[in-house]
Structure 1
Amino acid sequence: MEIDTLYGRAIPEAAASGVSRASQTRYVLQHFWQCYPGPEALRTSVEGQMGKQLQIEDHAQGFFDDVAPFPPEPTWHEWLGQRIPFFFTSEGPLLELLPEQKVLVRADLISAAFYLLSGWQEYFSAERDQHGRFPYMASVQQRYGFVAVPVVNYYFDVLRKAIEHVTGQLLHPRCWAGNAQWAAFITHDIDSLHSAWKAPAKAALRQGRLLSFGRQFWRHFKEKDTWDNLAEVQQTVAGYGAKSTFFILPENEKAANGTPNADYQLTTIQAQWPALQAAGAEAAVHASIGTARNLSQLQTEAAAVGKATVPPLGLRFHYLCWEPRSTPQLVQQAGFSYDSTLGFAEHFGFRNSFCQPFYPFNFQTGAACDFLEIPLNVMDATLYHPRYLQLKPAEVLPALLPMLTEIVRFGGVCTVLWHNENFDPVNHHNGPREFHALMKYLRSRNASFVNGRDICEWM
């Protein structure tokens, strides 16, 4: 077992390094064609011309035969008006369009795209935070300042131009339902249904306002909690023509390290689910602390959520816990169609530098996993948590706009996580007002509102 360098805890051993150029190319092209669908004959033709008409230089110099998590510094080039880091490249123009429909791509798009999309950095790094997560502060996205730029999509655009020159055929990006240019996936992690009263009650008690404390305590037992609001959340989202996906947390005991799980029993959800489902809501699993490393526990929790609602297709791990050396295998073994955990808790943007759903890379088999990852782009807690961005309310939407513009540009999916407790009207930081502003923007840019099932079927 390897020991993480931040907290001294054991983490699983990494698989032996050594991912062949052929495996990298297959993985990268799988996702390129996902972005720019083309007829099978065109794909076969292009892949047959790799190294002939279409020459992509290899500058990795044995990097993928080792276990180093971080590559040499990137070279920066402008593409589509944006300054983009290109890893594993040489000086000179990105690509040369040569006579006779030949192209020389000087940027090693295969190595660079594989490095970011596969999550190589977090797989081979031993850095983990207090929740066992690969930390944003250790990432190349933070080091070089491109977390809100889907760099792999820019690499793919360079490749698109090269392929169009070689084949003489235009490649068009994937469209979403209703011929929409991009999509939005609106989700809610259901951690708490019965705890809205606690913070004001504790504050009243600390300040000696015993009457106020008593009122809060009385309301807790006599009135519906403000956070027990799933129907209201669903109705709010539906008001924008969107669908809610509820990630339901089946475990209500604290984790071994004291981290809280749910404050409710699944029977509470079960009683509400028929009406929510009739209104178009989707149920998914919010797997508890520790489950990212425990297949049996993950299967048990999936079965529990399925019994309370419907058999779930997707999941997201509580606290965005994800152990890159073992969790993808567990998700695949458990039979989920999709996961939506992979985002940085500390910053909005693109953890794998890609704005579309993708198939995580399995370092044990050297190929793509079977389940779809729908990356998490923006979480309400990220925007205001004292350890995260601490944005003022008026700063939230302006801060997100450059990221959203990138998703629109490349026809991606914007995955939003807004916890049900942050629909509480007393929240003036990352609450309903900020959610409404974001939803109005998504609607104004004609996003196709989808849920996890829609995305799986569409992909």
Structure 2
Amino acid sequence: MLQLLIYIPKVTPRVKYIFNFIFREVLNCDFELTSIAEDFIQSSAPKMSYADAPLGEELFFASVSLLTQHQIAPIKIGETVFGHQKVPFAVTNGTLPFDVFAASFYFLSRYEEYLPFEADEHQRFPAALSLQHKLDLLKFPVIDGWALILKNILLKRFPALVFGKRKFTFIPTIDIDRAFYFRSHGLLKNTARFLQAAVKLNAEKIASILRTGLGQNDPFDTYQYLAEIHQQYRLKPIFFFLLAKHGHEMFDQNINPENEAFKRLIAQVAKEAQIGLHPSYASNIETKKIHEELLTLQQLTNKRIDQSRQHFLKIQFPQTYLQLIKAGIHHDYSMGYSSHLGFRAGTCTPFFWYDLQLEKQTHLKLHPFAVMDVTLQQYLRLTPEQANQTIDQLLSSVKLVNGTFYSLWHNEALSETGRWKGWKAVYEELLKNSLT
């Protein structure tokens, strides 16, 4: 099998990381890096160089200094136009008008999130501050798209070079922030809710409380529906459970994990689907909580749990990921924004987290999601019809590059109550379109 030879004057950890991701993870192409100019010049293999200047007549990609540096500091990023896109890290005299490898590393490593920024009310990095948002690149998995352009350039020069094929994959994920609305909250709390609803003449809420009291389904109890529809489309979902015993009063509102109905629910879901931890809002400050919550979930499921998604998508670099690694988490699904749709890391391909402070690739794999129900309904204020169109555009962008589409939904968004009336159909449309 032909192997691509790549000349780079200085092979650093950053270089190895991004070239591995683009060529092996996205393009399935075998390659070898060399910093020995003489060996490169004499080789008859398919070859390209990534440097300040070409060595000869080879396929040449001009570089900026980002991948040879070992510090985290503000960078002056030149911009240019490539096709219909504004792109960062402009260069001259190369095959491409921008440094595709530096741009990809900048997005994938979340470099800008290590720099000082003005956080939102939950101490998160705001999507509006991202370089992708500024360049209008957020809604497309640009790294995957750029990789395919690289593939076409290489194949034009070296038709015999071998690239593996990828298949589009769809993985639905469900966050269980509040397992039930009325059930398991006891007579006192539900009586207070009943009286409050009666004062406001909220007939729908009164009926829900009465139905639940009579043993009928809680509006947030959408688990049987989820099991059936995922089975219908032959999908393998992942459920993330919030297990905060004494969490943040306002933001950790799930049922106590010692509640019998909640324990039965988790055990049942674990028989049919993959389970992950939804580390509580409070766990970002009280780090021992992740260990406690993970242990509780493992005891309830009788399974080793090594996947998670941060509650409120709270990620702080590098602390959050270091905590997850320490707790024994190997897969995290938090890579996305609450307020904006799209691809926070510029890709729809799962990738290993690169720790910029230690300058090394870790074994924590990040699975980036593209769309969340709350973003569509609460932040963007879309109607169900508008949401369908928006999701379809995101789906199409991932299908175009044969990537992986992760969706983030909540059990309550399928309840057909309150603000979520009409949204069950949106989820069903998403599942149907993922297969066409």
TM more than 0.5: yes
Aligned to 2:175: 189
Q: Give the one of 67, 72, 80 matched to 2:77.
A: 72
Matched, 1:354 2:344: no
Please state if 1:84 is matched with 2:85. yes
Matching residue of 2:323: 330
Supply the distance in 2 between the matched residues of 1:419 and 1:115 (Cα, whole angstroms).
Answer: 31
Alignment map for 1:34-113 (pairs within 5 Å): 34-39=25-30, 50-51=50-51, 52=55, 53-60=58-65, 67-69=72-74, 71-78=76-83, 83-90=84-91, 95=95, 105-113=96-104
CA distance in 2, matches of 1:297, 1:156: 40
Match of 2:225 in 1: 232
Instruction: State whether residues 341 and 376 of structure 1, in contact with CA within 8 Å, keep that contact through their aligned partners in structure 2.
Output: yes
Corresponding residue number in structure 1 for 2:21: 31
Q: How far has the Cα of 1:390 moved from its partner?
A: 0.5
Post-superposition offset of 1:379: 0.6
Larger-Rg structure: 2
Summarize the Cα distance change of 1:430–1:112 in structure 2 as closer, same or farther, 3 Å threshold: farther
Aligned to 1:365, what secondary structure does the other structure show? Answer: coil
* Corresponding residue of 2:110: 119
- Separation (CA, whole Å) in 1 of partners of 2:256 and 2:211: 17
Deviation at 1:418, TM superposition (A): 1.2
CA distance in 2, matches of 1:24, 1:185: 29
Check if 1:243 corresponds to 2:244.
Answer: no
- Separation in structure 2 between the aligned mates of residue 131 and residue 232 of structure 1, nearest angstrom: 32
Instruction: Encode CA deviations 1:212-240: one digit per residue, 9 max, x unaligned.
Output: 77655444444341212323222222211
Distance 2:47 2:16 in 1: 9
Displacement after TM superposition at 1:273 (Å): 4.3
Q: Does the CA contact (< 8 Å) of 2:331 and 2:364 recur in 1?
A: yes
Structure 2 match to 1:5: none
CA distance in 2, matches of 1:201, 1:91: 69
Query: Match for 1:437: what amino acid?
Result: E
TM-score of the superposed pair, with normalisation by structure 2:
0.82
Take 1:326 and 1:46, find their aligned partners in 2: how far apart are those partners?
42
Residue 429 (structure 2) aligned to one of 427, 437, 452: 437
5+ long unaligned stretches in structure 1? 1-19, 96-104, 176-180, 445-459
In the other structure, the counterpart of 2:408 is 417
The offset of 1:416, in angstroms, is: 0.7
CA offset digits 1:8-43 (Å, max 9, x no partner): xxxxxxxxxxxx872221111111111111346799
- What residue number does 1:306 align with? 298
State the SS of the aligned residue for 1:204.
Answer: helix
Indicate the SS of the match to 1:417: strand
User: Could you tell me the percent identity over the aligned residues?
Assistant: 20
Q: Among 266, 289, 303, which residue is 2:281 paired with?
A: 289
Q: State the partner residue of 2:376.
A: 383
Shift of 1:425: 2.6
Give the CA deviation at 1:71. Answer: 4.3
Structure 2 gap segments, 5+ residues each: 1-9, 35-39, 184-189
CA distance in 2, matches of 1:382, 1:35: 28
Cα deviation per residue 1:227-273 (whole Å; 9 max; x = unaligned)? 123232222222111122110111143416x3233134354343234
Equivalent position amino acid for 1:187 in 2: T
SS of equivalent to 1:360: strand
Shift, 1:301, TM fit: 1.2
Instruction: Please tell me the residue identity of whatever aligns with 2:400.
Output: R
Alpha-carbon distance in structure 1 between the residues aligned to 2:372 and 2:30: 37
- 1:369 is paired with a residue whose SS is strand
Q: Give the drift of 1:120.
A: 0.6
Structure 1 contact 253–261 (Cα < 8 Å) conserved? no
Amino acid of the structure 1 residue aligned with 2:358: T
How many pairs were matched up? 401
SS in 2 for 1:287: coil
CA spacing shift, 1:252–1:70, aligned 2, 3 Å:
farther
RMSD (Å), alpha carbons: 3.1
Distance 1:190 1:88, change over 3 A: same
CA contact (8 A) 2:392 2:433 kept: no
Measure, in 2, the Cα distance between the counterparts of 1:76 and 1:200.
Answer: 57
Give, in whole Å, the separation in 2 of the partners of 1:361 and 1:117.
8
**Aligned AA for 2:91?**
S
